[in-house]
Structure 1
Amino acid sequence: MTLDTLLDRLVVLGYTRLGYKYRARTWPSDDPEPQALKGKTVIVTGARTGLGKATAAALANLGATVRLAVRDPAKAQDALTELQSNGGTYILDQCDVADLTSVRHYASTIEEPIHALIHNAGVMPPVRTESPQGHELTLATHVLGPLLLTELLKHHLSRVIFVASGGMYTQPLPEDPEYRDAPYKPAVAYARTKRIQVDLTPLMATHFAPTTIATMHPGWSHTPGLTTSLPTFTRLTGPLLRTPAQGADTTIWLAATDPAPPTGNFWHDRKPRPTHYLPHTKSTTTTRTATWTYCQTQAGLPTPTYPPPK
Structure 2
Amino acid sequence: MTAPRHVRQTSAPDQGLDRVLDRTVLLGYSRLGYAIRRRRWAADDPRPGALAGQVAVVTGGGSGLGEATVLGLARLGARVHILVRSPERAAPAVARIERQLGEKGSSADLRVERCDVSDPAAVGAFAEEFCAREGGRARLDVLVHNAGVMPPERTESVDGHELSVATHVLGPIRLTEELLPALRRSERGARVILVASGGMYTQRLPVDDPEFTRGDYQGAVAYARSKRMQVELAPRLDRRWSPHLVSTYVMHPGWADTPGLASSLPVFRTLSRPLLRPPEAGADTTVWLASTDPAPPSGTFWHDRRQRPTSYRSATRPGPGEAEELWRWTAAAAGLSGP
Match of 1:62 in 2: 76
TM-fit CA distance, 1:22 = 0.4
1:91-113 CA distances to partner (integer Å, 9 max, x unpaired)?
01011001111111111012321
Residue 7 of structure 2 aligns with which residue? none
Q: Of residues 189, 212, 221 in structure 1, which corresponds to 2:247?
A: 212
Q: Which runs of 5+ in 1 are unaligned?
A: 305-310
Say if 1:119 and 1:146, in contact at 8 Å, map to a contact too: yes
Sequence identity percentage: 51
Alpha-carbon distance, 1:193 to partner: 0.2
Q: Give the alignment of 1:49-88 within 5 angstroms.
A: 49-85=63-99, 86=101, 87-88=107-108
CA distance in 2, matches of 1:88, 1:231: 33
1:41 aligns with 2:55: yes
Partner Cα separation in structure 1 for residue 41 and residue 91 of structure 2: 36
CA positional deviation for 1:265 = 0.7
**TM-fit CA distance, 1:137:** 0.3
By how many angstroms is 1:296 displaced? 1.1
Unaligned runs of 5+ residues in structure 2 are: 1-14, 102-106, 132-137, 184-189
Displacement of 1:251 in angstroms is: 0.3
Paired with 2:115 and 2:216, the residues of 1 have a C-alpha distance of 30
Residue 119 (structure 2) aligns with: 99
Secondary structure of the 1:155 match is: helix
Deviation at 1:303, TM superposition (A): 4.9
Kindly state the Cα deviation for residue 183 of structure 1 after the two structures are TM-superposed.
Answer: 1.1
Partners of 1:161 and 1:185 lie apart in 2 by: 26
The question of 1:118 aligning with 2:144 is answered: yes
CA distance in 1, matches of 2:231, 2:17: 24
> How many residues are matched?
304
Report what 1:163 is aligned to.
195
Which residue does the alignment assign to 2:304?
269
Q: Is the 8 A contact 1:293 1:303 kept in 2?
A: no
**C-alpha separation in 1, matches of 2:318 and 2:337:** 23
* Residue 255 of structure 2 is aligned to residue 235 of structure 1: no
What is the deviation of 1:155?
3.1
Question: Partner of 2:134 in structure 1?
Answer: none
Q: 1:286 aligns with which of 316, 321, 334?
A: 321
Matched to 2:327, the amino acid is: W
Distance of 2:91 and 2:330 partners within structure 1:
33
Question: 2:23, 2:180 → 1: CA distance?
Answer: 35
- Name the CA distance, whole Å, in 2 between partners of 1:77 and 1:127: 29
Provide the rounded CA distance (Å) in 2 between the counterparts of 1:184 and 1:155.
38
Give the 4+ runs in structure 1 shifted more than 6 A: none
Question: 1:72 corresponds to which letter in structure 2?
Answer: S
- Aligned equivalents of 1:302 and 1:154: distance in 2? 14
Residue 219 of structure 2: aligned partner: 186
- 1:147 Cα shift? 0.4
- In structure 2, the partner of 1:153 is 179
Structure 1 stretch displaced more, 209-218 or 30-39: 30-39
The one-character-per-residue Cα deviations of 1:21-76 (angstroms, maximum 9, x if unpaired) are: 00001123451111111111100000010000000011001110000000111211
TM-score, normalised via structure 1 length: 0.96
3-state SS of the aligned residue for 2:142? strand
- The alpha-carbon deviation at position 285 of structure 1 amounts to 4.3
**Range with greater deviation from structure 2 (2-11 or 85-94):** 85-94
Contact 1:118 1:162 in 2 (8 A): yes
What secondary structure, in the 3-state scheme, does the structure 1 residue paired with 2:154 have?
A: coil
- Tell whether the 8 Å contact from 1:202 to 1:265 is kept in structure 2 after alignment: yes
d(CA) in 2 for partners of 1:51 and 1:138?
A: 17
Question: In the alignment, what sits opposite 2:129?
Answer: 109
CA distance in structure 1 between the partners assigned to 2:92 and 2:160 by the alignment? 31
Deviation at 1:222, TM superposition (A): 0.2
